[in-house]
Chains A and B, each alone.
Chain A
C-alpha cells in the first residue's frame, strides 16, 4: 500500500485561459483566482461557456475531439496544462459531479462509492475500504438511507439519492477541488436543498466550483460568484466579473451583471 499524504483544499489560479473547440474559440481570456475552502458559483446564460470553463479545470475539456486550451491553470503552484502533467493525475485531485446523476449501472451502492479506489487499483484492506465508503456516504448525507442496502444496485435509488451517491463517489478519492456542473438542476426542491446543505459542509474540506442556472441557489450556497456572458452567437464567452456573492447580487460593478442578476437580461 502506498503511503498516504495529507491533502488539503487547493487554490486554483487561472491566467489568460482560452478554450477552443477546433477553430472555434469558446471562452476567451479568463483570469481569475478560485480560493480554497470557498464555494465559487459560475452564473450566466446558456452557451456562455460556464460548463466548458468548468471542464477545463480538470482537463475534461480535451475529451471532446479537437478541443484544446491555451493559457495556464495553476493548482496551488503546479500548471495542470504543463508539458509533463498527466491528465489522469489531475483528475484524481480535481473531482467532478455532473448535471445528471450517473452512477455506474453495473455496480452496487458500495462499489459505486468505492469505484474511484477500486478502478485505480489501490490495494487496500476491506476494513479501510469500508471506512472510506461509510465516511463518504455520511459526508453526502446518504449513509442512513442506504446503510442497509449497500449491496443493492446504485440505479435503484431516487434521482436525488443518486446525485448524492455521485457526490460520495467523487469525495471518496479525496480530491482537493470539487467541480459541480449544475448538480441540482435535475432534482426536486427538497433534494436540491439537501445538495445545497451538503455543498455548505463540503467547503470545509474542498475548494468547490459550481455551475448553476439558479440565481437563488448561487446566492444561497456560494461565497464568490463569477458572471460569464457572451456577446452573441458565434462569439466567445468571457468572464465579466467575479466578486463576493453578496456584492454581485446587490451591487455589482458592471451594468450587464446587474441586468442579468436582476432579471433584465438582453
Chain B
C-alpha cells in the first residue's frame, strides 16, 4: 500500500492552473508559453493523510494482552511475575503490530518506542513505590506524639521516642552544612573564576575522586583524625559532621561550579566595563545570578547526606538520651537509630522494630521537605539566564 506512487494529476499541479487568474488563451504571456518543460523529480512517496488509531488503542492492546495471559494462566497455572512480564511484552508487541498494519511503519515505531519508555519508567518507579508503601504502612504504627517528644532514656519495651535522634540528625547535618557550604562554594569560585592550568586540573580531579569516596571511609577518616587529638574511642557529634562534610563538599563544589558556568560571560564583561573589580563582580553579579541554582544544589547535597548511617555509626555512636552539644559525647541520629533499633530490638522485639520503621519514615519526610524546599527556593530566587 505504501509502495504505490503518489497520484499526481498534471492538470492539478500544472503551472497553468496554479495561477487562478491565468490570462485567457488568446493573451497568454509569452514567457509562460516558452517556459522550458519542468524537470522531472523523484522521491519516495509520502502520505500526509492517513488512518490513526484511537487514543484508547494502547490500553486496549495491554488489556488484550492481560486477557491472553489470564487464559494462558488457566492452562499452566497462575504466577504474578509471568503474568506481569507477559502482559507488558505482549501488549507492546501487539500494539506495534496493530499500529504497523493500520497506521504504517513510522507511527508504529513511534508507538513502540513510546511504549518502551513508559514501561521502563514504570519499572524504575516500582521499587520506589513499593518502598514508600512499606515504610509508610509500617511506620504509621508509631507515628504519634510520643515518638516526637520522648527519647529512649530508660525505655525498655513499648513506648519511647526518637527526639534525641531527630535532634542529632538536625545538629550533625547542620554542622556538616556549615562546614561544607563555605568551603564548597569558595572552591567552586576558585575553580570556575580564577583557576587555570595544572592546579585547576588537579583540584578538579581530586574533587571527582572525593565524589566517589565510600561513606565508611569518610567515617574512618574522621574517626582517625579525632583519635589523634582526643585518643582512641572518642565519640562526638562534630566528628560525624566532619565525616559528612567529606561526602558533602564535592557535591557542593560540583553543583556550584555548574551553576557558575552557566552565568553568561557577557554579564561579567558588562560589570568589568563599568570599572568593577573582579571580586566585586563575582560577589555582586555572578553569585546573585547563580544563587537559586547554588541554594538548590546545597539543599540537594544535604538531602543526600542526611541519611548516611555507616560513618555516623563509628563517629557519633549510639546513645539513648538527648544530647544537643556536638562537642561533647555521643549523639544519636535517625539513620543510626533505625539501624540499631532493628538490629538489636530486645525482648519483646516488636516495639523496637516499629520505632525503626517510624524513624525511617521521618527521615524520608525530612528529605521530601528538603526537596520541596529546593524547588520552591529555585522558583523564588532562580534567575532566568538567557
Contacts and interface: CB of A to CB of B under 8 A. Distances in A.
Interface in B269-313: 269-277, 280-281, 284-285, 288-289, 291
B362 to A, nearest CB: 37
Contact of A102 (B196, B270, B276, B277): B270
Interface residues of B, number: 23
B264 interface: yes
B4 interface: no
A106 B383 contact: yes
A119 B269 CA distance: 14
Interface in A86-107: 88-93, 95-96, 98, 100, 102-106
A119 B271 contact: yes
A119 B273 contact: no
B272 A63 contact: yes
A80 to B, nearest CB: 12
Contacts of B196: 65
Given A104-B289, A105-B289, A91 B273 contact: yes
A115 interface: yes
A92 B267 contact: no
Given A104-B267, A106-B383, A95 B274 contact: yes
A170 B383 contact: no
Interface in A156-170: 166, 169-170
A139 interface: no
Interface string A92-130: 110110101011111000000001101111000000000
A67 interface: no
Nearest to A90: B275
B273 A60 contact: yes
Contact of B275 (A106, A155, A173): A173
A241 to B, nearest CB: 28
A112 to B, nearest CB: 9
B364 to A, nearest CB: 35
A96 B267 CA distance: 12
B280 A58 contact: no
Nearest to B268: A63
Contacts of B130: none
B2 interface: no
B288 A119 contact: no
B285 A119 contact: yes
A106 B288 contact: yes
Given A120-B275, A173-B274, A173-B275, A106 B269 contact: no
B273 A88 contact: no
A169 B273 CA distance: 10
Nearest to A155: B384
Contacts of A63: 269, 272
Q: DSSP class of B's interface residues: helix, strand, loop or mixed? A: helix
Contacts of B384: 105, 155
Contact of A100 (B266, B272, B275, B291): B266
B267 A91 contact: no
B383 A116 contact: no
A102 B281 CA distance: 14
Contacts of B383: 105-106
Interface string A173-198: 10000000000000000000000000
Contact of A119 (B264, B284, B291, B385): B284
Contacts of B271: 104, 115, 119
A60 B272 contact: yes
B289 A106 contact: yes
A169 B288 CA distance: 19
A248 B386 CA distance: 39
B276 A119 contact: yes
Select the residue from B273, B276, B383 with max chain A CB neighbours within 10 A. B273
Contact of A104 (B272, B280, B285, B291): B285
A172 to B, nearest CB: 8
Interface string B354-386: 000000000000000000000000000001110
B275 A88 contact: yes
B270 A98 contact: yes
Contacts of B288: 106
Given A105-B383, A105-B385, A116 B275 contact: yes
Nearest to B264: A102
Interface in A126-151: none
Contacts of A98: 266, 269-270, 273
Nearest to B290: A106
A91 B274 contact: yes
Task: Give 5 closest A-B pairs by Cβ, nearest first.
Answer: A92-B275, A116-B274, A96-B273, A102-B266, A91-B275
7 contacts: A63-B269, A92-B274, A105-B384, A106-B285, A106-B288, A116-B276, A119-B285
Given A93-B275, A106-B291, A106-B383, 20 more contacts: A60-B269, A63-B269, A88-B272, A88-B275, A88-B277, A92-B275, A96-B269, A96-B273, A103-B270, A104-B267, A104-B271, A104-B285, A119-B271, A119-B280, A119-B281, A119-B285, A155-B384, A170-B273, A170-B274, A173-B274
Interface of B: 196, 264, 266-267, 269-277, 280-281, 284-285, 288-289, 291, 383-385
